[in-house]
Structure 1
Amino acid sequence: MTRSGAPRPPLRRARLARAALLVAAAATFASFLGTRDLWAPDEPKYALAAREMLETGEFLIPHVNGAPYPDKPPLMFWLVALLGALGGGVGPATAVLPSMVAALFVLAGTMRLVRAVAPRAGPGAELVAAGLLLCAYRFVMQATTGQLDMLLCAFTTWAFVLLFEVLEGRAGTRRVVAAWALAGLGTLAKGPVALVLPVGGVACAALATGRARSLRGIVRWSGLAAFVAVVGAWLLPAAVRAVATGRADWLADLLFRQTLVRYAASWHHHQPWWFFLAVPWYDLFPASALLPAALAGLVRRDDAAPGPVPRQALLALAAAAGFAVLFFSIPSGKRGLYLLPIHPLLAALVALDLEARRAAWRGAAMPRAGLAVAAVLLAALAVAVAGLVGGAIPSDVPRWLADHGIALSPWPLAAALTAAALAFAVAAAAWPRRPAVLVAPLVAMLAVWIVLARTVYPAVDASRSPARLVAEIRERTVPGAAGAMIDFRAQFGFYAGRMLDVDPSDERALADAARRLAGREPFWLLLRREHLPLLERHLPPGRRPVVILERPVGDDELLVLASPATPRRAPSAQAPGAVP
């Protein structure tokens, strides 16, 4: 501090640099707003759950299309519903804003994490860690997607921070209680994995660094009480409501099938055991190009060597990340985004390795090689985008884009990727003599994400969004016509409103839908072409429904059938006709 009490200039500059990085991140995330509708499978489902909360006033038990939804806890739905109530309804913007805000907290937590494990590393390492994370493909995609994972990551990141601070000797009951309470909020976002990852990860870090006695400071009754209080504040009244209203099956599904059963006997997303050993290399790209140097540094660095980054800090981060990889590798069901909560750990690991090498003025060859590899891969990606999409490289890509109605110019994205490749090449040549050169790749990657948001997303949305299909259904059917869908999907229900869900394995439900299509009341049915034979078995002879629409959405060929009283007028592109 100066005599006047003002912060010293280096501290002020560090704070300004942190703030500038967060502002740049917020501006990048904001560039994605308004570029697309909600995309299947998760975004419209979660937005629909939030909207039904506002419509029905039922906030304890989430519902999708009027049915109790046991797959996920309600925190994300509450946040989206709150934003919808404040901002004129639930839509694409309100659905993704919680993820964007959570991503900013993750970036701030990543910088704090560097200070927690290596207090002498300095602000430069903090900024590099957050910058590497902001360059990473998976992080930016999840920050701009209305899913639960970034919200979970925000809570686990700060739980990691607080528990690592306790591990490093900054003891205090408040830190432990806050960490476990954050794990409780993460549990309300996506389940008990929010507790398993930080507590299990920091416990492994303590064991790996010879600090097993410190585990007593991490696992305390006060922390457990905070966790139970946070989770119980919702779960207890929700359980009472479920039992009182005859929905105990929802409670059992939530507590057991979606947690223990799903972990022990996954029923989808099956992947080989080594899947999560490969995921970080492309999900963290281009930052992952520096990961081999960081992993090699774990083995080669002398813990007794002086410097701002002790080997113990790197081992702690690697052990915590390794625990998550092992934990998620046990079940057969695996998705790449499951590892998002350890991306801040890996970014901090890489940043601290760079800081250790820079401070020692040795071992720069591997990081420079990593930066060069990233430059080459980005350049190759630019050539692939320009060649495949532009048609210079023979492939089926132009035909596939045309078949799906995607009109995409490859040149803006190819140019941005080329600029990023040049920035990484310059960094490879100038680091570590000029540490500030790492700003160039960050700025270039932010430009890539903005170009992706403003050019690629709107083009792809023309094919993926069901909003246009639903608008055409409304245009071509009489007002008030009842709607249904075989094998209901929330992306259509979000835009069409409440729909009858026809189970394709239920013959009685199919027969009832066929009867209504042949009847005299306005009624329309949305189905994928693959389900048409199931329905045709129940259609009465001589009373075929009208085909009012036939459109591809994503990879599905969709039909809209209607009873004779349903069409408002003949469709402009195709007159109503019998089922083909």
Structure 2
Amino acid sequence: MLDQTRVPAHRPAYLPSPEHDYRLLWSLLMLFALVLLGLGIGLRDPWPADEPRFALNALEMLDTGQFWFPHRGGELYPDKPPVFMWLTALSIAITGSVRMGFLLPTLLASLGVLALVVDLTRRLHGPRIALLSGVALLSTLQFVLQAKTAQIDMVLTFFTTLGAYGLLRHALLGPARRWWLIAWAAMGLGIITKGVGFLPLSLLPAWVWLARRGEAMPLTWKELGLGLAVLTGVIALWGLPMIMIATFSGDPLLAAYRDNILFKQTGERYADAWHHHEPWYYYLLEVLPWAWLPLVLTLPWAAPAWWRRARRGDARVLLPLSGVVLIVLFFSLSAGKRGVYMLPTVPLLVLALAPLLPGLLPRRGLNWLATAVLTLLGGLFLVAGLSGWLGLPALSELSIRYGITPWAWWVLLGLVAAGLLAWLRPRRGVAALALWLVAFWASWSTWGYLLQDPVRSPRDMMTQVAQLTGDEAWLALPSFDEEFLLQARQPSVHFGDNTPLPEQFARAFHWMQQAPESRWMLAEASHLEAYACVDMTQAKDMGPQNSDEWWLVPGQAVADCEGNANAALLFVAPTTVE
């Protein structure tokens, strides 16, 4: 049953209407989300593994004007379509800053997901449950984590959520053929963002079954055909020009880009994954227990309620729930698995849980379970922080390895957990856990950023390198990582990301020997150990960065090394926008 707000027959004119109350509370919810999710923007650089790569893609687009074929370090980057890079480039261009711009696409996408979930829940279950669904989404660990991470997946999730929103509007509140077409257009945009934008189609099997029972709008072949046409047309807006340019350019590198992104990065990546191999139970046992936290705590009580609604044929719950199950199954069948692949399930899970929340939140068992989880988390942070302060050897080694001492931060998080537990008591454990997560993300986005950024970003190291060599000196980066090119403060070159490491060093040695007074090399100590010809007495130890030890080697130090005079790709790093 839809939530019904009882309204007096003759409301005084000076009292706000329920719709006015809802708009006010919705505005406050979105403002809170903007502050929570946007907090910390401008305080840190892009962090490995993915963020520097996409920021570098965007900077090269702005620097070269080549927007159709993304490049990374001067080489074509065929792993992902360019939509996310376009959005990042636009954000950086508008703000004039990498630090201010690189997180904006995921922030705006996360706010869009929130707005879609709340609006659809309001239409299906009423305003009170809609606001609860928004709070539930903002409490979910993986959702907030990805909203604060400049990866493609939150933008993908916006498109898959918009696709699901349109399909559900048509299925449950239809006919709504405009939203049906918008859904297919969104899926097309999702596909040219990260391949799997078709995930909302996981709703169709349950939809067909429910339509036969009269619980959902019937589907027609005409509607399916029109939807597929819209999806294909959206993909073609990018795909056809890309294919035409690559095919008729006569450039074998563009042809290889075309084949890679159309085949290797789609079907082959799923059917015969070459990395991130995990067992079939990886998501069920290793990802979802933390990614869905705290929503996962409701499952012992939600599962029986879902079963009862399934027997009644409640399409409002069954459709999003079926999407969650099929998406988890779809990704579990592939050998290649990453935790972030589960992000599109979170909005659907909230939609399936939403009508149960008023009955679940007061439950004594759920609140005691949330209290136990908060006690565990707070206790771990408090004990670890105090142990680090007292010099426990294991934590001291960890601190030396990663170059940070987060003890005060961790103790504070433990004390906040203890304070919330004392204030709200176990009977309000869910509220205590949700508030602690807000405190965690607020401190993570400020104190945590300031602690981690010098370690996870080579900004300071690259600035020091430029000071030691001079701004005009050239720097070689064999076996480069994107964050080093991104933070380069001088002309920097590399020798092919896919070139074997010995060949990269041979080319680097030859290149440095051509002008030893003005050419330097920044390399990992573990790689330099293989070259006894390098005079390490002339090299400068730059210290640890990204868990590796780095050395700055002048051109004179490689005079006795055997080089390779074969033509090498030399890429001059673009100037970083501050």
> What is the TM-score when the length of structure 1 is the normalising length?
0.85
Q: Partner of 1:329 in structure 2?
A: 332
Question: Which structure 2 residues correspond to residues 263-412 of structure 1 after superposition, within 5 A?
Answer: 263-278=270-285, 279-301=287-309, 311-355=314-358, 357=359, 367-391=363-387, 396-408=394-406, 409=408, 410-412=410-412
How far did 1:208 drift? 6.5
Q: Is residue 167 from structure 1 mapped to residue 171 from structure 2 by the alignment?
A: yes
CA distance in 2, matches of 1:479, 1:56: 22
1:156-214 superposed Cα distances (whole Å, 9 cap, x missing partner): 111111101211150132111100111112122212x111x101234345436855983
1:126-180 superposed Cα distances (whole Å, 9 cap, x missing partner): 1122211111111111101111111111111111111012111501321111001
- Indicate how the Cα distance of structure 1 residues 423 and 106 shifts in structure 2: closer, same or farther if over 3 A, else same: farther
Q: Decide whether the 8 Å contact of 1:54 with 1:81 is kept in 2.
A: yes
How far did 1:258 drift? 0.4
Match of 1:74, as an amino acid? P
How far did 1:463 drift? 1.6
How far did 1:274 drift? 0.8
Q: Partner of 2:155 in structure 1?
A: 151
CA distance in 2, matches of 1:256, 1:94: 31
Where 2:336 maps in the other structure, the secondary structure is coil
Match of 2:44, as an amino acid? R
How far did 1:548 drift? 2.4
Q: Is residue 527 from structure 1 mapped to residue 523 from structure 2 by the alignment?
A: yes
How far did 1:314 drift? 2.2
- Indicate how the Cα distance of structure 1 residues 447 and 213 shifts in structure 2: closer, same or farther if over 3 A, else same: closer
Q: Is residue 252 from structure 1 mapped to residue 252 from structure 2 by the alignment?
A: no
1:262 to 247, 262, 269: 269
How far did 1:370 drift? 2.2
Where 1:564 maps in the other structure, the secondary structure is helix
Where 2:273 maps in the other structure, the secondary structure is coil
Q: Partner of 1:433 in structure 2?
A: none
- Indicate how the Cα distance of structure 1 residues 242 and 545 shifts in structure 2: closer, same or farther if over 3 A, else same: farther
Query: How many residues are treated as equivalent by the alignment?
Result: 536
Higher mean Cα deviation, 62-71 or 197-206?
Answer: 197-206
2:500 to 502, 505, 511: 505
Q: Partner of 2:66 in structure 1?
A: 58
- Indicate how the Cα distance of structure 1 residues 217 and 72 shifts in structure 2: closer, same or farther if over 3 A, else same: same
1:445-475 superposed Cα distances (whole Å, 9 cap, x missing partner): 3232112222222212222111111111111
How far did 1:42 drift? 0.5
CA distance in 2, matches of 1:159, 1:419: 42
Q: Partner of 2:107 in structure 1?
A: 100
- Indicate how the Cα distance of structure 1 residues 59 and 214 shifts in structure 2: closer, same or farther if over 3 A, else same: same
Match of 2:494, as an amino acid? L
Q: Is residue 240 from structure 1 mapped to residue 244 from structure 2 by the alignment?
A: yes
How far did 1:325 drift? 0.4
Match of 1:83, as an amino acid? S
Structure 1 stretches lacking a partner, 5+ long: 305-309, 359-363, 430-437, 567-580
Q: Is residue 483 from structure 1 mapped to residue 475 from structure 2 by the alignment?
A: yes
Higher mean Cα deviation, 259-268 or 214-223?
Answer: 214-223
How far did 1:225 drift? 2.1
Q: Decide whether the 8 Å contact of 2:169 with 2:176 is kept in 1.
A: no
Match of 2:350, as an amino acid? A
CA distance in 2, matches of 1:527, 1:302: 59
How far did 1:501 drift? 3.1
Q: Decide whether the 8 Å contact of 1:504 with 1:510 is kept in 2.
A: no
Q: Decide whether the 8 Å contact of 2:43 with 2:99 is kept in 1.
A: no
Q: Decide whether the 8 Å contact of 1:75 with 1:189 is kept in 2.
A: yes
CA distance in 1, matches of 2:239, 2:12: 51
- Indicate how the Cα distance of structure 1 residues 505 and 532 shifts in structure 2: closer, same or farther if over 3 A, else same: same
Q: Partner of 2:576 in structure 1?
A: none
How far did 1:441 drift? 5.3
Structure 2 stretches lacking a partner, 5+ long: 1-6, 559-578
Where 1:59 maps in the other structure, the secondary structure is coil
Q: Partner of 1:450 in structure 2?
A: 442
Match of 2:473, as an amino acid? A
1:397-419 superposed Cα distances (whole Å, 9 cap, x missing partner): 23311342203212322233335
- Indicate how the Cα distance of structure 1 residues 527 and 224 shifts in structure 2: closer, same or farther if over 3 A, else same: same
How far did 1:420 drift? 5.0
CA distance in 2, matches of 1:280, 1:204: 23
Where 2:102 maps in the other structure, the secondary structure is helix
Q: Is residue 225 from structure 1 mapped to residue 218 from structure 2 by the alignment?
A: no
1:207 to 198, 206, 209: 209
CA distance in 1, matches of 2:203, 2:24: 32
Higher mean Cα deviation, 543-552 or 158-167?
Answer: 543-552
Q: Decide whether the 8 Å contact of 1:528 with 1:559 is kept in 2.
A: yes
CA distance in 1, matches of 2:508, 2:136: 53
Where 2:280 maps in the other structure, the secondary structure is coil
- Indicate how the Cα distance of structure 1 residues 419 and 454 shifts in structure 2: closer, same or farther if over 3 A, else same: farther
Q: Decide whether the 8 Å contact of 2:162 with 2:183 is kept in 1.
A: yes
Where 2:470 maps in the other structure, the secondary structure is coil
Match of 1:271, as an amino acid? E
Where 1:139 maps in the other structure, the secondary structure is helix
Q: Percent identity?
A: 29
How far did 1:230 drift? 1.8
Match of 1:346, as an amino acid? L
